[in-house]
Chain A
Amino acid sequence: EVQLVESGGGLVQPGRSLRLSCATSGFNFAGYAISWVRQAPGKGLECVGFIRSKAFGGTPEYAASVQGRFTISRDDSKSIAYLQMNSLKSQDTAVYYCNRVKWLADPTGLDYWGQGTLVTVAS
């Protein structure tokens, strides 16, 4: 069974940092891109970024709203992806989901999602 479990969320002050983890099981983690999507309270879905599998360079992409502040990484030996969030702002308050990217020559969908972890940025 494919599972993705986020952890590391919580209350953090503006300007501080937080690292989220996405622990996975049930599939060949190394063979998949992993994405992060967030959802502010009562709002829609927003792509944060994703990281390609090593076979496609292992490189990340980021939304403009987090570029330069957030970093996505992966540890294929542990089947875990990370989202390092620096210089947090109140606008970053959201539930953060990690997802597996369905890849058919190109990314085509987010086929498995974690349960989400809430990040609240407030003083």
Chain B
Amino acid sequence: DIQMTQSPSSLSASVGDRVTITCRASQGISNLLAWYQQKPGKAPKLLIYRTSTLESGVPSRFSGSGSGTDYTLTISSLLPEDFATYYCQHFYTYPFTFGPGTKVDI
């Protein structure tokens, strides 16, 4: 199985900050990476798929990049509603494992 790691596991930020979260796969995943946002008590929400394609309705302050084994999610200017936990997930081969999550709080 492909293992996914994320860093940092948590971070404290302020409104307006630029935030970058890193996701690393244990082998190359050919850009088949998605990012999700989850708020407490809610289901996750798809933000980005195929590394950098924004899901419909997702604000442009979210962006994704990367290749090979290393990928990043960037929030260009943090808004209050962005405080949440973020997960990456690969879609290279099943099981489509998730990263352990990055909690973004104040």
Tell me the A residues contacting B by CB distance below 8 Å: 35, 44-47, 50, 61, 63-64, 97, 102, 104, 106-111, 113-116
Contact = CB atoms under 8 A, between A and B. Distances in A.
Contacts of B91: 106-109
Nearest to A107: B91
22 contacts: A44-B87, A44-B100, A45-B38, A45-B87, A45-B101, A61-B95, A64-B95, A97-B44, A102-B46, A106-B32, A107-B91, A108-B50, A109-B34, A109-B46, A109-B55, A110-B36, A110-B44, A110-B89, A111-B49, A113-B43, A114-B43, A116-B43
Contacts of A106: 32, 91
Nearest to A6: B43
Contacts of B95: 47, 61, 63-64
B94 A61 contact: yes
B49 A115 contact: no
Interface string B91-102: 100111111110
B26 to A, nearest CB: 15
B1 interface: yes
Contacts of A47: 94-98
Nearest to A63: B95
Interface string B8-52: 000000000000000000000000101010100001111001100
Q: Which of A45, A97, A102, A109 has the most CB of B within 10 A?
A: A109
A114 B42 CA distance: 10
B31 to A, nearest CB: 10
Contact of B49 (A35, A108, A113, A116): A108
Contacts of B38: 45
